[in-house]
Amino acid sequence: ERVLRHMKEMMISRTEQNRPLNSQNVADALQKFSLKKTAVQKGLDALADSGQISFKEYGKQKIYLARQDQFDIPNGEELEEMKKANSKLQEELAEQKKITSEVESEIKGLQSNLTLDEIRSKEARLQSEVQEMEEKLKKLQSGVILVKPEDKKIIEETFSEKTNQWRKRKRMFKELWDNITENSPKDQKEFKEELGLEYDEDVDVNFQPYSEMLASLNKRRKVSR
């Protein structure tokens, strides 16, 4: 019964109907049922002798086939109706997939929204931040000095010193570099990489804004004097 069922299933499921099978093919497929090749061979021979399956001999090997007359074969009109039904089912399947996709997308959108507890937590945090900013604004509007004059002076002097040192070192390096590479046959970019040198631009630093800030600071100092 197991062997016969397998032969019928092979005929129905395979794209090549009535694909011939030898005893080894069947034994491999039915190995999961603990059927050995000898038992499968006996089953195939018994089915062939009883006419439930067909077989052909090629030398010492036998090839077995399921009998096609055991199945209802649709005529041309029935086949055409089956094709139409299949086409309609495919359209319905595509529509269901589309609906499923839309529902899944909606679910993902809902899952990405904040929960009520998360909204309340975020609201409390934002209210706290707003309160802090309002307090700072009130101090500024009331004329309260947030930075002491002596601290401001130290910061401005430090900024001025560091920026001037930066400018000076950039100029010194450029003069030195130009002298070294003036008659050098090496490519300057490759030579720079070989020495492990980095320009400000290589590390996304631009001196110009700091230079402008220093100029503005110096101008303001002159006016205050």
Q: What mean pLDDT do residues 68-94 have?
A: 80
CA 65 and chain centroid, separation: 48
DSSP class of residue 29 equals: H
pLDDT of 182 over the 90 cut: no
| Structural domains of the chain, count | 2
Query: Mind listing the pLDDT tens digit for each residue in 10-46?
Result: 765 544 445 678 888 888 888 888 888 899 999 999 9
- Rounded to whole angstroms, how far apart are CA atoms 97 and 89? 12
Report the share of the chain in percent with pLDDT over 90. Answer: 21
The mean predicted confidence, pLDDT, of the chain is 84
Query: Mind listing the pLDDT tens digit for each residue in 209-223?
Result: 999 998 988 888 776
- Rounded to whole angstroms, how far apart are CA atoms 106 and 108? 5
137-140 long-range contacts, CB within 8 A, separation 24+: none
pLDDT reported for residue 162: 94
**Domain ranges, residue 57:** 1-66
User: Of the candidates 29, 48, 66, which is a domain's last residue?
Assistant: 66
pLDDT reported for residue 16: 45
Is residue 76 one of the residues assigned to a domain? Answer: no
